Structure 1
């Protein structure tokens, strides 16, 4: 992005974004790249073919479309990927979007990251008004971590977490539950995370995109995880919601929280308030559905935002009630990988 002053978006004359089921869309997850420096076994193939860079929205276009959503009532922006911090000059986007925090139009600007580049960027993120980050980490064993990610260095991620906490960022951990892989680590991970004042959210494997290992072989239902945890800890259900799909419990012995994201064993769609924008400008109305809207074309057809606004309005009018993930299907529920849609 250039250093020229970017005008604040006008307060849209269009109404707030409300889907056919009366849910207000106030949360936008924005993928800035499909690229990643890891190749996690549940997320993507080892030999991924990434999009040509010319197909990606520019940083200016990402800022523009995010600003239109903020003008329509979106109050939370989460920057995702792939791995968002591998996008060249991505901090320019954070700096530009931070103006909406300063005006109060945006309540939260955050990101999900694998942590490999956090050591470099944590202080800059904090300076842009980012107050918390989600770090994906599926094992505390260096060898196992490398096997899951196919190339990751656990020590590098740990340095990133250290840097984030030094910068004053609140860190929440995400871990995918993998049958026969990391299920023996869940209790130690909870204890480690809570000692460092980090909450941990467990996530079920989602059937997105073809990968080499079968997802049925990977799938560990969180209902079983919760049952096992109850033999180690005293768990108390919490009523709080963060605008995401997680349901939370307090671990009384540690005082920390554990979340469960259960798209397969317990549908989380009833309160869905979010949509996802890909790095190519496709707006996905549901993580588990193929239906999408092209926002790149109307944005590039004119300097004004009227066509973009209309495309967004039309898309939200067909947001589905929920997904239809079924892990037992031979084919994935949707053909795109998670890295394409954004985590």
Structure 2
């Protein structure tokens, strides 16, 4: 995921009712060192990447349910529930850790392309796919053999991918401001679609019913027709978006913004989208996980002091890593 500057000012809501639609209802604190990236939810548990390990929490209580160690520079977590396996993308060690979902014991590690970042389980091909940022390619893993079966050059830095569930994969290319369309049968790139005026795409989600892609860009959510790459709409969102989630039941798109807001967009139809508001969360809460079963939203972040590091970013206060739980206001 891209590195972003965090803002210390109060997040500005763009609509008058933005204070009431969604709110932080719980905060789960995790006492371990390191930064963070993606967060995932699976079968009542929250999996938070954190430095060199993955912390696992009970979704309802925030109680620790264990951790997966030795995942250097971990970015994302994916799951194959039929095989009872979890997978982490380890950016520093250029590999994927495979672990048992019940015991959390290491199964194996699989070498990937350089800089594996986002990771996903692709349901149509029943494969695990990593987006390798430095290598500018994808690694396709067969979870039954724990082997890389294909490497796909996508022609840019892949940030996140979304599947149509029918054999096509859509990949945000952050450095090109494009979406690459991948044929998972032939392991080849079919098209490159421009996201202009969107720049620096990060999070990506897909609605199978409307056949629409939702790409989180710099201060902009770009809605794209997944058939031909036509831009359907452009919605202003909060600054520092690094994650997008789609609630298929409520037809809502969420973007997590590092400035400390959650942008919520309503999909009224395939061609009609409305920003409901930019709701306050906490600065640094830039990535997102959505539980499709109950609508709970999870955002990882931390506390920061006023000192800045050598690269100009705010300094995280050690021991303050946390997961925000966001729900719709009643």
Fold shared by both chains (TM-score > 0.5): no
TM-score (normalised: structure 2): 0.30
1 or 2, which has the higher helix percentage? 1
TM-score (normalised: structure 1): 0.29
1 or 2, which has the higher strand percentage? 2
User: Which entry has the higher C-alpha Rg, 1 or 2?
Assistant: 1
